[in-house]
Structure formats: C-alpha cells, structure tokens
C-alpha cells in the first residue's frame, strides 16, 4: 500500500429513502422469523411520496402457506411497515406514517428454487443462490473497521439520537455524511474534508443571501459539535474543511424528495469502499440467502483474524453455487500485514467453522428476528450484545491461534 494517501467513505441516515426501504424490508424479515425461524423471505420495498410498496417471495408456517394468508396476517404486515416509518420519524405532508398508501405484493416462493435449496434428510440444504461474498477487517479503529466509514456512521447515528431526544429539534430524518482522511503508514493522521448534509426544519439554511443566517449558524454549530465529539481530536486540524449543507436549503427529503429502494446502499452497509463487494444486498433476505449469511461469516472470520493479531488487515472471499451446500472457494488476503501465510488460514477456516448455509446460521445464531437494527448505520462494526450482531463477536480468536500454532 502507498505510504501516504487520501481515502473517503460516506454514510446515509435511517431517514434516507433507500434506508427507509431497507428498514421496512428487514422489519418484514423480522416479523416472519418471529413467527417461524425457518421462514423464507425475499422482500423488496419501494418508497416514494406518500407510497410504500412491498414485493417479493415468502414461505412462513402459520402465516402464509399454500398461497393463503392466515387471518390477520395482512393487517400485521401493514402495521409493521407503518410502525417502522413512525420510528424513523416521518410525519411530513409528503411522507407520513399514518397516511401513506400501502401496497403488499408478497407472494409464494418459487417451488423450483425451493427444491434446490431445501434440506434433504441425507444432506445439508444448498445455497439459495450463486454468488461471491467478501468480509473485511482493519485494526485502524477499535471496531476493526475502516475509520472513514466508522466516523461517517457515528456522526449520523448521533444526530438521529439527538433528533429523537429533542436535543436538535431543527433536524429532520434524511441526512448524509462523508469523511476524507489522510493516511500515513496505513494509519489515519488527519481529516482533510468532512461533508454533512441534513434535512432541516423550515428556515434553517443560508445560501447565496437567502434564508436565515442565525438559524443556519445554529445548525452548523450543532453539526460541528457532533463531528468534534465523534472524531479523535488529533484528526481535526486547522486544515480540515467542513461542508455543512453546502447546497443550502434541504427541507424536502426522504421518500418525498427521492424514491427509495431496498439494496441500493451496499457500500454504506459494508466497508465504505475499503473492501471488494460481491454485489448482493442484505436487507429483505432471510439468512438462508448466502448474500447475507456468507457476508456475515466472512466479516466474522476477518475480524477474528485481525483481533487475534494474525494481521492488521484481512479480506476474505467465499463463493457458492445454488443448491450446493459447501462453498466453492475460500480466499484470504492479509495485504502484506500477516504473521502467517494466507494458505494456512485458508486451510484452517473450514476446520473451525462449517461454511454451509446451515452451518453458518447455526454458528452465528441467525434464525432470529435481529435484522431491522442492521439496516441503518452499517451491518458491521456494531456492538455485539446478546443476539444482536453475532458476527461481531471475537470468540474464535483462541481457536485460530491454537490451530495455527502447530
């Protein structure tokens, strides 16, 4: 890697239209998994002005069987969607949790897909689709995540918490952040530019002589305070450039400002561009889909490798074929920072963790309603607490060290 360079990552808030869609899709995944831990769900969401549309395929015992909905199921789905939007905070004329029009186009999973994926008596279930999945970890932050993304997430997460607590009542749900850091010897040494664009209450802007300068100054001062709280003080210098709502007025936002779709923020969801991405989104998918579960296990493996001190950076790739249980390939790249050869780690991994879809779900405990919370502020680098974010645990460290000691 180059000795000195600039790197940038962005994040978007829970009120961004694509993230609204992701959270709705994952609230539906959680709803069905709470009814049936073996439920199959593929739920896509479209959001736009005063409209939410669901589409996709499901199979859920006691809720949707043989093409029939159980009594009250449709009403519970709609209530779940409206509650999700309410919790995000949308009570605006162009998008209000109580009054938006709702369409449910969920239907039965294809029998042809199911036959290649279902578990037979004598073998593991196959993968739900072909594909490649990547996991990554870096020791540049305590969360073992790229610093640019970690700080971008935490700025917006803090702003959302303050908005909901009434600390910053001039904020509205839609927002974006972007952090550029200068690296030296693979370590962040300076923030060169930070961008925050946030939807705001009427009047909290000032641009080209228009708006209310005092209100904008209040908003800007608040955002700068959040940035100062999130980023280490040594990274913020006299040379750091701040762009706070650089285009001026941002009163219309969320699904009323732009249509939102599930699965359009896959780089925000993962590693902020610091790692390759297999292309598959996570939200709206139950954990039999390797797009989701294999991405989680690769993060788990990469994080444990770095936490074990076997490398400062680690990228892992897995690949699968539909209907085939075992991965077709395992690839490990330690980016020249490793203390052991990559090939040894590749050989050891299958001895420590079963990488079949069922093996992954069992190891991480994924057949639970734990996904709504993943759908904003990143799937990775979060705190593992109870059943939440189990792929962030570092309980494989000792086993990795022991297996590689011989």
Strand locations in 246-386 (E): 260-261, 313-320, 329-333
* Cα–Cα distance, 249 to 172 (Å, whole number): 13
325 labelled binding-site residue: no
CB 155 within 8 A of CB 177: yes
Nearby residues of 295 by Cβ (< 8 Å), 6 or more positions away: 133, 134, 135, 270, 278, 280, 282, 379
CA distances from 247 to 103, 205, 210, 372 (A): 34, 9, 12, 32
The token duo for 193 is: 């530019």
175 labelled binding-site residue: yes
* Cα–Cα distance, 406 to 399 (Å, whole number): 12
Specify the residue for token string 């949308």. 90
380 labelled binding-site residue: no
Give the number of other CB atoms < 10 A from CB of residue 74.
Answer: 14
In terms of Cβ atoms closer than 10 Å to its own Cβ (0-12, 13-18, 19+), residue 228 is: exposed
The catalytic residue positions are 16, 18-19, 44, 57, 176, 250, 258-259, 264-265, 285, 289, 291
The token duo for 12 is: 């978007």
Q: Which residues pair with 45 in a beta bridge?
A: 54
- Strand pairing of 51-59 and 101-108? parallel
140 labelled binding-site residue: no
44 labelled binding-site residue: yes
174 labelled binding-site residue: yes
CB 282 within 8 A of CB 295: yes
109 labelled binding-site residue: yes
Query: Measured in whole angstroms, how far is the alpha carbon of residue 347 from the centre of its chain?
Result: 29
258 labelled binding-site residue: yes
289 labelled binding-site residue: yes
265 labelled binding-site residue: yes
Q: Which residues in 4-38 are b (16+ Cβ under 10 Å) and which e?
A: eeebbbbbbbbbbbbbbbbbbbbbbbbbbbebbee
Binding residues for L-methionine: 57, 109, 258, 289
Binding residues for Mg(2+): 18
Binding residues: 16, 18, 44, 57, 109, 174-176, 249-250, 258, 264-265, 281, 285, 289
Binding residues for ATP: 16, 174-176, 249-250, 258, 264-265, 281, 285
């Amino acid at each position: 890697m180059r000795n000195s360079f600039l790197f940038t990552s962005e994040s978007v808030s829970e009120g961004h239209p694509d993230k609204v869609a992701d959270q709705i899709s994952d609230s539906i995944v959680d709803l069905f998994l709470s009814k049936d831990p073996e439920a199959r769900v593929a739920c896509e969401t479209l959001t736009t002005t005063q409209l939410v549309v669901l589409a996709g395929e499901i199979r859920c015992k006691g809720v949707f069987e043989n093409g029939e909905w159980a009594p009250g199921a449709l009403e519970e789905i709609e209530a779940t969607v409206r509650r999700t939007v309410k919790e995000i905070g949308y009570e605006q004329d162009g998008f209000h949790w109580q009054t938006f029009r709702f369409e449910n186009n969920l239907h039965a999973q294809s029998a042809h897909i199911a036959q290649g994926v279902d578990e037979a008596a004598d073998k593991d279930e196959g993968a739900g689709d072909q594909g490649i999945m990547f996991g990554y970890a870096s020791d540049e932050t305590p969360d073992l995540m790229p610093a640019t993304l970690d700080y971008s997430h935490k700025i917006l997460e803090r702003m959302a918490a303050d908005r909901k607590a009434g600390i910053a009542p001039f904020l509205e749900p839609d927002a974006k952040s972007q952090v550029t850091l200068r690296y030296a010897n693979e370590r962040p040494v300076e923030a060169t530019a930070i961008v925050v664009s946030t939807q705001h209450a009427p009047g909290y802007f000032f641009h080209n002589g228009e708006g209310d300068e005092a209100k904008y100054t209040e908003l800007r001062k608040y955002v700068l305070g959040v940035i100062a709280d999130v980023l280490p003080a040594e990274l913020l210098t006299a040379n750091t450039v701040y762009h706070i709502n650089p285009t001026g007025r941002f009163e219309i936002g969320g699904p009323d400002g732009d249509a939102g779709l599930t699965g359009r923020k896959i780089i925000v969801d993962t590693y902020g561009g610091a790692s390759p991405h297999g292309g598959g989104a996570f939200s709206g998918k139950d954990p039999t889909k390797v797009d989701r579960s294999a991405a989680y296990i690769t993060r788990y493996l990469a994080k444990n490798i770095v936490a074990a001190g076997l490398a400062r950076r680690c990228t892992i790739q897995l690949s699968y074929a539909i209907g085939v249980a075992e991965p077709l390939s395992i690839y490990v790249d330690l980016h020249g920072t490793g203390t052991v050869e990559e090939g040894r780690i590749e050989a050891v991994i299958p001895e420590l963790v079963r990488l079949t879809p069922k093996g992954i779900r069992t190891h991480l405990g994924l057949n639970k309603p734990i996904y709504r919370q993943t759908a904003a502020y990143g799937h990775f680098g979060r705190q593992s607490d109870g059943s939440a974010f189990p792929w962030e645990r570092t309980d494989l460290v000792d086993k990795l060290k022991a297996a590689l000691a011989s």
